[in-house]
Amino acid sequence: MDSIQWYKQTVGTDTVNGVATKSGVPQGSLYRRLEKRSLTPELVVPIARAYGKDVLKALATTGLITERDISRNPRLAALRDATDQELIAELWRRLQDGTATSDYDKPLTDFDSERPPFEVYGDTPEQTERKAAKHNPGDAL
């Protein structure tokens, strides 16, 4: 992927002015580089940060670094080399001390307040479903 393809994929339908404003890059510089069909590292880094994209991958599209350079990143290498148990232990530690991002401590779905969780009954989820169906027959699965 070249820098222009990366740019289009990253910013979607945002205008040049919108991208410049959001990322803090000079609009004129961005426009000129888009016309030349080649973005510089000085432009892709703030754009990547503004849009929550991987800065290293953005730099690779400019040719400043390669995918091989990225794969040599010691942090990524350590993650790849870690066992499943080590990864889970680290995630658990972050959840316990509150350093994990808040996106991962929310329910995946909305809670149905009309039906108590199975822990209330002390039963398995299947037993809870059967008991709940007796109270609300229309809700049975």
Rounded distance, CA 59 to CA 56, Å?
Answer: 5
Name the token pair of 91. Answer: 């995630």
* Full residue range of the structural domain in which residue 16 is found: 3-71
Rounded distance, CA 90 to CA 140, Å?
Answer: 39
Name the token pair of 102. Answer: 């808040």
- Are 42 and 67 members of one domain? yes
- Are 67 and 9 members of one domain? yes
- Are 55 and 7 members of one domain? yes
| Each residue's pLDDT tens digit, 4-50 | 999 999 999 999 999 999 999 999 999 999 999 999 999 999 999 99
Q: Identify the pLDDT of residue 71.
A: 77
Q: Bigger pLDDT: 71 or 60?
A: 60
Least confident interval from 32-36, 58-62, 63-67, 70-74:
70-74
- Per-residue pLDDT band for 139 (boundaries 50, 70, 90) equals low
**Contacts of 50-56 spanning 24+ positions with Cβ under 8 A:** 50/19, 50/22, 50/23, 50/24, 51/10, 51/11, 51/22, 51/23, 53/10
pLDDT at 85 > cutoff 90: yes
**Are 57 and 70 a contacting pair, CB within 8 Å?**
yes
Does residue 109 lie within any of the structural domains? Answer: no
- pTM comes to 0.55
